A = this chain, B = another copy of it.
Amino acid sequence: MFDRINSYVYNCTILTQEEISFFNSLLECKTIPKKTILLHEGEVCNFEAFINKGCIRSYYLDENGFEVTLQFAIEDWWVSDIASFHEHRPSDMFIETLEDCELLMLSPQTKENLLEKVPKLERVFRLLVQRNLSVLQSRLFKTIATSAQEKYVDFITRYPTIPQRVAQHYIASYLGISPEFLSKIRTRMSKEH
């Protein structure tokens, strides 16, 4: 149950056996069916969820119903709207399961409690946010500076298991292109080889 998350934490900091047990005891494990919306735009996000099993995406929706996928998350990833979670502000994104999921969840109060008792975990969460930031920076750069095909190749190289798990139009919405055009890119690429 806690193997994945404990080995994740172990990569960032080293805890004693008691600290690990305490940490694990605060996590709430939830099983959630696919196509469930975990967070609606306008709600305050009250969880940080570690994915033990399953696949989730977060996305924005503009006034015309156009979706932009911010992130896909699979096993060993965290999902949350960090700003909403920490500042108790209404979120402007949606978070939705794409597969049946098993999640380990942390509420704001529990997290505060946890960090107070086990300050070494500060580092884990700081690294998490920093990596998020740095991934997002390079993604913004690529979104602006490269062609749709380059972005697609970059995506399947960086996240090779995701395309097998999620519908293609979600990937298009992650790349910022229309589903039709992604389809054209794919046929073009398969002809080239």
Q: A66–B40 Cα gap in the complex (Å)?
A: 38
Name the one of B86, B141, B144 contacting A130, with C-beta atoms under 8 angstroms: B86
Q: Which residues in window 106-151 of A have CB below 8 A to B?
A: 122, 126, 129-134, 136-141, 143-146
Q: What residues of chain B lie closer than 8 Å to A83, measured between beta carbons?
A: 130-131, 133-134
Q: What residues of chain B lie closer than 8 Å to A130, measured between beta carbons?
A: 82-83, 86-87, 129
Asked whether A179 is an interface residue with its Cβ less than 8 Å from the other chain, the reply is no
Q: A93–B145 Cα gap in the complex (Å)?
A: 14
Asked whether A18 is an interface residue with its Cβ less than 8 Å from the other chain, the reply is no
Residue among A86, A137, A138, A145 having the largest count of chain B Cβ atoms under 10 Å: A137
Asked whether A162 is an interface residue with its Cβ less than 8 Å from the other chain, the reply is no
The range of chain A's interface size is 20 to 34
Asked whether A192 is an interface residue with its Cβ less than 8 Å from the other chain, the reply is no
Minimum-distance CB pairs A-B, first 7: A144-B176, A83-B134, A60-B141, A62-B145, A68-B144, A133-B133, A136-B136
**7 more CB-based (< 8 A) A-B contacts, given A83-B130, A136-B140:** A60-B138, A68-B140, A129-B130, A129-B133, A136-B137, A140-B140, A140-B143
Residues of A at the B interface (CB closer than 8 Å) are 60, 62, 66, 68, 70, 82-83, 86-87, 92-93, 122, 126, 129-134, 136-141, 143-146, 176
**Residue contacts A-B, CB under 8 angstroms, 21 given:** A60-B145, A62-B141, A62-B146, A66-B145, A68-B145, A70-B141, A82-B130, A82-B133, A82-B134, A83-B133, A86-B130, A87-B130, A126-B126, A126-B129, A132-B133, A133-B136, A136-B136, A136-B140, A140-B140, A143-B143, A143-B176
